[in-house]
Amino acid sequence: MSHLTRRHLLLGGLGVAAVGSLSACGASSGPGAAPLPTPVRPSGTAAVVKTLTAKQSTVDLGGPRVRTWTYDDSLPGPLLRAKAGDFVQVTLKNQLPDDTTVHWHGIALNNAADGVPDMTQKPVKPGETYQYSFLVPDPGTYFFHPHVGLQLDRGLHAPLVVDDPNEPGGYDHEWIVVLDDWLDGTGTTPDATLAKLISDNATDSGNSGMGGMGGMNMGGMGGVGTPPFGDGGDIRYPHFLINGRVPTAPETFAAKAGQRVRIRFINAGSDTIFSVALGGHQMTVTHTDGYPVKPQAVGALYLAMGERYDVTVTLADGVFPLVAVPFGKNGTPARALIRTGSGAAPAAGVVPVELNGPILMGADLEPADQSLLPSRSADETIRVVLNGQMSPYAWGLNGASYPKNDPIMVSHGNRVRIRATNMTMMTHPLHLHGHTFAITESGLRKDTVILRPMETRTLEFQADNPGRWAVHCHNAYHAEAGMMGEMRYRT
Ligand code: C2O
Ligand code: CU
């Protein structure tokens, strides 16, 4: 089933009064009527030139072998690395049996390269090639993934690191740690899982559909109401991965005791918030979503889908598990190992004591001075309201499922304040394309921020990147089921 077909199925599904004028033939009158932006072509030679092939592959997760979709046959996909200010040119070859695009998550790039089908480009059809050309203005840890259907919940994601030529560095190693929740090729697919969620919850509005269907999360250890996030997502995953490996066959990072390491954490999962800790160590958080923060020592931290955190660690002597526990879900936590000395590795499933202590919520970090937006009062305020529920399985933004909701209009040059409200009983990581907003209260810069059940946050950004930008929940299932909107610059 194509993503469009599924959307059409869902149009009648947001069974709440807030849905305005839904009709089966309304798709042509939606935001798609606005013109797509014109792609930028590099005038000189690009600093980074890459070809990326999206294709079906068989991947070894470290025991389980799965048939899935990847970039260049690797999981995670190949690292894309550039320097701040570089012109990047990536040629995407689509060898998938479905349309696709690439979205460069967190990068404040030109709108035409943003990879949102029917908003910034036409989808790239099977067998087609498409060129992405963009400047990477800001250093940091990012990633890229398709913006079509549930392709993120297959193996289609890869890290993107933008180096800061002026940063002192001061560490001996740099490791990238990609967290993922995995079900593709284990007897189901993301598309089949969503179809089942929808059909199992089609008629019943009396309970939350907790009837024991495969692929659905039954609440596990953290049922509805478990702090701090409510429940643990919608989907039950057989595997949790770090860098594409199951915890019984972990990636092992080697270093020497006393060395300083920078770890770039990326949550590329689709429906799972993780808490991470390195056994026997404190970690110092230095950046989130690319931007520097006031260094903060923690034993453990949460990462929602789409969030990134950089930490530094000074390593002790021995073998240590780097563990990512899926919030509110059963299953063996994801892990990697760090080895600086001899000794046996702890067994899979061992959870470091650091995860029993306080766990940092990223939004509580303080911004570094150089990350602050210039102080200025808001010129306009926009509303982003997240709606929906499990049963019937339907999610929306500002009262309707995308693309039935109205574009949110902003003016170029304005300081825009966002009042974002989660009107649901689930936690949603809210992500805005093309901009890194500040949390008004603290000034902390983020492009993906957690909204807990019934929580309101005030965010703001400088409207300095004209175009049509997606704003959505980074739960892939929620976004696909309609929890997305378009923020459009007035012309
Ligand atoms: Cu990683 Cu539209 O998002
Ligand atoms: Cu969500």
The pLDDT score that the predictor gives to residue 202 is 85
Mean pLDDT of 443-451: 98
Centre of ligand 2 to C-alpha 479, Å, is 7
The pLDDT score that the predictor gives to residue 225 is 61
Does 332 have pLDDT greater than 50? Answer: yes
Q: Widest CA span of the chain, in angstroms?
A: 66
Centre of ligand 1 to C-alpha 305, Å, is 9
Which residue's alpha carbon is nearest to atom 3 within ligand 1?
105
CA distance 218 to 260: 41
Q: Which atom of ligand 1 is nearest to the CA of 479?
A: 2
Mean pLDDT of 111-115: 98
157 lines ligand 1 (CB under 6 A): no
Residue in 465, 463, 461 with CA at minimum distance from that of residue 449: 461
CA distance 162 to 159: 10
308 lines ligand 1 (CB under 6 A): no
> Among all ligands shown, which has an atom nearest to the Cα of 147?
1
The pLDDT score that the predictor gives to residue 5 is 36
Residue 389 bridge partners (DSSP): 394
CA distance 365 to 361: 8
385: which 2 tokens? 């309201």
Give 258-271 pLDDT, tens digit per residue: 999 999 999 999 99
The pLDDT score that the predictor gives to residue 45 is 80
pTM value is 0.91
164: which 2 tokens? 């800061």
Centre of ligand 1 to C-alpha 339, Å, is 34
pLDDT tier, 33 (very low <50, low <70, confident <90, very high otherwise): low
Centre of ligand 1 to C-alpha 109, Å, is 13
Give 191-229 pLDDT, tens digit per residue: 999 999 999 998 654 444 333 333 444 433 344 568 899
Q: Which atom of ligand 1 is nearest to the CA of 116?
A: 2
148 lines ligand 1 (CB under 6 A): no
CA 425-181-346 angle, to 5 degrees, is: 115
Centre of ligand 2 to C-alpha 388, Å, is 9
Residue in 50, 46, 5, 56 with CA at minimum distance from that of residue 27: 5
117 lines ligand 1 (CB under 6 A): no
Mean pLDDT of the residues in the chain: 90
Residue in 118, 178, 110 with CA at minimum distance from that of residue 148: 118
pLDDT tier, 43 (very low <50, low <70, confident <90, very high otherwise): low
Give 57-94 pLDDT, tens digit per residue: 999 999 999 999 999 999 999 999 999 999 999 999 99
The pLDDT score that the predictor gives to residue 224 is 52
Does 442 have pLDDT greater than 50? Answer: yes
Which residue's alpha carbon is nearest to atom 1 within ligand 1?
105
